[in-house]
A and B are shown apart, each in its own frame.
Chain A
Amino acid sequence: EPEVTQTPSHQVTQMGQEVILRCVPISNHLYFYWYRQILGQKVEFLVSFYNNEISEKSEIFDDQFSVERPDGSNFTLKIRSTKLEDSAMYFCASSPGLAVNEQFFGPGTRLTVL
């Protein structure tokens, strides 16, 4: 059964460093998402991506964040200069269509900023 994969499973970085979190969505899906979950808090929407551009983003997704689909299979989230408060579990999801469709989630990347 096809699944969303994410690498790495755990990333440790120093404050101020850039990180890139990688996701491989399910191959025939058209919509891609990033969510994050700070320990003990809710899963929060960051950004949705369709047709090679951002279709929606939350107030969390500021200029420090960017997304890219560089090669038609990978979907990346870049944080330019990490802060302590960026420490969280980051989930990638993909969907064949819009809201009524199921979003398939990856296992997550745990980002720890020291």
Chain B
Amino acid sequence: AQSVTQLDSQVPVFEEAPVELRCNYSSSVSVYLFWYVQYPNQGLQLLLKYLSGSTLVKGINGFEAEFNKSQTSFHLRKPSVHISDTAEYFCAVSDPDYGGSQGNLIFGKGTKLSVKP
């Protein structure tokens, strides 16, 4: 079964600094990869997804992520963060060969991004 590791539980950064939130998954078989964001008191919102094709995926709010199959990673990046990016970020995997055909998502524990002025 798949598992997802987000190594950093909290990431504090200053406004306008670049940020990278790390995500690794357990298997190198074909997977679908997602990043979700959760703002306080709101549901999970999709930032971006990788299904196939180009390994660099661009999402909303200036975020992008790069799929690296050899390192089984899908790190999220933003070149310059804003105060409004303060939220919790979840990496998720859908494994077509293990229940993923039904869309079941396997999540990491989340990374809390805190952007300071």
B residues in contact with A97, CB < 8 Å: 103
A residues in contact with B101, CB < 8 Å: 98-99
A residues in contact with B106, CB < 8 Å: 45
Q: How many of B's residues come within 8 Å of A, CB to CB?
A: 27
Using a CB–CB cutoff of 8 Å, the interface residues on chain B facing chain A are 4, 32, 36, 41-46, 49, 51, 90, 92, 94, 96, 99-110
B residues in contact with A41, CB < 8 Å: 109
Secondary structure at the B interface, as helix, strand, loop or mixed, is mixed
Is B32 a contact of A99 with CB atoms below 8 Å?
yes
Give chain A's interface residue range (CB within 8 Å of chain B).
20 to 34
Using a CB–CB cutoff of 8 Å, the interface residues on chain A facing chain B are 3-4, 31, 33, 35, 40-45, 48, 50, 55-56, 58, 91, 93, 95, 97-108
Is A99 a contact of B42 with CB atoms below 8 Å?
no
Q: How far is the CA of A58 from the CA of B4 in the complex (A)?
A: 16
